[in-house]
């Protein structure tokens, strides 16, 4: 395999998972640049690069245009909002992502984040570690409970369904909003996010970051969720108006929020750090060695399959019809 692909050059902008890097280095020829800026592309790279593998670096239209022989962009992650897939499609460039292999892992974290937000497990552990259990007594009773909650999922896709199964097993009712109804699930469907937020008290967002979801969770949606409302975001930070969320938490418009994702990572707005009743995680939904290795393998397998079999394994919808030149 490696001999067949060894002369093919893959460009890696920015950091990449170590296992993915090791495989690319052994199976292809590799160029590395510090980030996704097209200004780093040398004439030699422009001539030789046929594939690109990215984890954190954006892949803009400019970068794609700077690589005239580019055939495929392999995104490490199921969410590919940092890749201009529409532009790639117009240039006949394949884009792949890493669906399914991370679904259950991310759903586990969504549930953990929900429970932590509502039952304050991190704060209770800090209480114990600070010696307060001995000096001051038991940790306070939590004002919020999971019992009797009605959950709503914004984005009932692969991960949304895995979260829904966990919520059901925990005794919560489940409803959802997507642009289109999912045929093979029996959860109650809402054709608007507002309708969903009005109907539930626990909103879990696992929608992708796209122009159509930008700032979808805004002041109006948070008001509809209500005073007992809990908002969890495991999808993308761009789907939330973070300033409106911080205000809603501060003013008691909703009761609490748990966030794994932010609009401008790794920056977390001070207003969210200061907001009461929040559980904040540094984008760790898929971050186990097991799952990150599976994501790395799938992203590199896409490159190998493209250059040896002539087809991608997991093409994103925008480039599903792109064929190898």
Task: Name the residues that contact ligand 8YV, by CB under 6 A.
Answer: 55-56, 76-79, 102, 283, 285-286
Q: Determine the Cα–Cα distance for residues 268 and 151; give it in Å rounded to an integer.
A: 26
Q: Which residues of 150-189 are buried (b: 16+ CB within 10 A; e: fewer)?
A: ebbbbbbbbbbbbbbebbeeeebbbbbbbeeeeeebebbb
Residue 180 near which of ligand 8YV, ligand NAP, none (CB within 5-8 Å, type-dependent) = ligand NAP
Does position 234 interact with ligand NAP (CB under 6 A)? The reply is: yes
Token representation of residue 107: 């759903």
From 5-13, 45-53, 210-218, 298-306, give the range in contact with ligand NAP by CB under 6 A. Answer: 210-218
Nearest approach, Cβ of 148 to ligand 8YV (angstroms)?
A: 31
CA angle, 81 then 203 then 252, to 5°:
115
Catalytic entry in 236, 242, 292, 318: 236
DSSP 3-state of 293: helix
Please report how close the Cβ of residue 156 comes to ligand NAP at its closest, in angstroms: 5
Distance CA 215, CA 98 (A): 25
* Catalytic residue status for 166: no
Catalytic annotation present for 236: yes
* Complex with ligand 8YV: residue 91 or 283, whichever CB lies closer: 283
Q: Does 258 bind ligand NAP (CB under 6 A)?
A: no
**Catalytic hit among 32, 165, 283, 293:** 283
Inter-residue long-range contacts of 27-36, CB under 8 Å, 24+ positions, other chains counted? 27/1, 27/2, 27/300, 27/303, 27/304, 28/303, 36/60, 36/63
Tell the smallest beta-carbon distance from residue 257 to ligand 8YV (Å): 18
Nearer to ligand 8YV, 56 or 271 (CB): 56
155 binds ligand NAP (CB under 6 A): yes
As annotated, the active-site residues are 236, 265, 283
């Amino acid at each position: 395999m490696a001999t067949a692909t060894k002369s093919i050059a893959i460009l890696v902008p920015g950091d990449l998972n170590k296992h993915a890097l090791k495989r690319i280095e052994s199976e292809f020829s590799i160029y590395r640049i510090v980030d996704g800026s097209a200004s780093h592309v040398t004439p030699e790279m422009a001539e030789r690069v046929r594939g690109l593998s990215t984890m954190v670096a954006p892949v803009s239209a400019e970068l794609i245009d700077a690589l005239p022989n580019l055939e495929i962009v392999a995104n490490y992650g199921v969410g590919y909002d940092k890749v201009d897939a529409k532009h790639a499609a117009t240039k006949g460039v394949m884009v792949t992502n890493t669906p399914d292999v991370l679904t259950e892992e991310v759903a586990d974290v969504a549930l953990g984040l929900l429970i932590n937000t509502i039952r304050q497990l991190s704060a209770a552990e800090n209480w114990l570690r600070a010696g307060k259990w001995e000096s001051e007594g038991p940790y306070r009773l939590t004002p919020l409970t999971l019992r009797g909650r009605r959950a709503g999922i914004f984005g009932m896709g692969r991960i949304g369904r895995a979260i829904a199964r966990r919520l059901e097993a925990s005794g919560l009712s489940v409803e959802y909003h997507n642009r289109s109804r999912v045929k093979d699930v029996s959860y109650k469907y809402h054709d608007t996010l507002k309708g969903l937020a009005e109907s539930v008290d626990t909103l879990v967002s696992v929608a992708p970051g796209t122009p159509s979801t930008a700032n979808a969770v805004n002041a109006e949606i948070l008001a509809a969720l209500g005073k007992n409302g809990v908002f969890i975001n495991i999808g993308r930070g761009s789907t939330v108006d973070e300033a409106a969320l911080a205000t809603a938490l501060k003013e008691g418009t909703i009761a609490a929020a748990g966030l794994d994702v932010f609009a401008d990572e790794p920056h977390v707005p001070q207003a969210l750090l200061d907001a009461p009743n929040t559980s904040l995680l540094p984008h760790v939904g898929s971050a186990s060695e097991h799952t990150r290795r599976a994501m790395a393998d799938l992203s590199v397998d896409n490159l190998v399959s493209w250059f040896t079999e002539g087809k991608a394994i997991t093409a994103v919808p925008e480039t599903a019809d792109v064929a190898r030149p």
